[in-house]
Amino acid sequence: MVAIDATATASSGASTAAGPAARGFGEFEDFLRLLTTQLQQQDPLAPMDAQTFTRQLVQFATVEQAMKANARIETLIETVRAGQVFAAAGFVGRTVELDGEELYLPEAGPARVRYRLATPAASVRITVRGEDDRTVATLDALPTTPGLHEVSWDGLDRAGRRLPAGRYRVALEAVDESGRALEADLGIVGRVEAVQFDGERLLLAVDGVLHPATAVRAVTDSTSSQR
């Protein structure tokens, strides 16, 4: 007669709460089958002593409770995820400001960025680069006063030609009278088109580019006018 130990099985079940429920119930059924087989094949003249049998029944109950807990945790995780998507759906159609330097130029119309200055600047410049990291446009003569400023890029290159829609990167340079770089905060402005999960991350599709929801700095009404 071979004694079985469900401690490892129970621990494994408890540690895989986020795994498929079918796996947990499979482990539970395997343990039940082993225990039943052990009882059927024990020697009638030398049956399992009460203490050993009681210990295995306790282990059996532990496995059952662990499997039920796994199922409840999985249900809770799915409920939380669904709640996050439902809540994030309120972003769709709204204009948001995001951390980051990547923006999307649409087929028609401008792309927008915002920047914040803590102190007055002598000059502020925004450089736009393409996928090959080549500078395609430069925005000069920008506001230099402290505070929040929004700038639109019309999608034109240095020769005045409209660039194709797609992803571009922007960089901000602000300097004082002596040419010393100043601290400036750059953000991307766009309209949320959709929300989705990528593994464990909640993502927002903003003007064709996916951003983590945690990158959102501010949300404005979809009817807000563009400056």
The CA distance from 168 to 177, in Å, is 30
pLDDT at 213: 83
pLDDT at 95: 87
Angle at 185 between CA 182 and CA 189, to 5 degrees: 145
pLDDT at 17: 42
The CA distance from 125 to 90, in Å, is 34
pLDDT at 128: 96
The CA distance from 144 to 190, in Å, is 23
**Domain extents for the chain?**
7-90, 93-220
Q: CA dist 110 to 17, 53, 118, 162, 167, Å?
A: 47, 75, 26, 10, 13
The CA distance from 111 to 108, in Å, is 9
Q: What are phi and psi of 207, to 5 degrees?
A: 50, 45
pLDDT at 53: 62
> DSSP state, 42?
S
Q: Which two tokens stand for residue 160?
A: 């005045």
Helix (H, G, I), strand (E, B) or coil at 46: coil
pLDDT at 15: 45
Which residue, 189, 164, 169, is CA-closest to 112?
Answer: 189
The CA distance from 227 to 214, in Å, is 25
Q: To which residue do tokens 């059952």 refer?
A: 64
The CA distance from 24 to 12, in Å, is 9
pLDDT at 79: 55
So what's the architecture of 93-220 in CATH? Sandwich (2.60)
Low-confidence ranges of the chain (pLDDT < 50): 1-22, 24-25, 223-227
Which residue, 182, 177, 95, 166, is CA-closest to 128?
Answer: 166
The CA distance from 133 to 136, in Å, is 9
| Region of residue 183 (left: phi > 0; alpha: psi -120 to 50; beta: else) | beta
DSSP letters spanning 128-194: EE-TTS-EEEEE-S---SSEEEEEEE-SB-TTSPBPPSEEEEEEEEEE-TTS-B--EEEEEEEEEEE
In this structure, how many other beta carbons lie within 10 angstroms of the beta carbon of residue 106?
14
In this structure, how many other beta carbons lie within 10 angstroms of the beta carbon of residue 104?
16
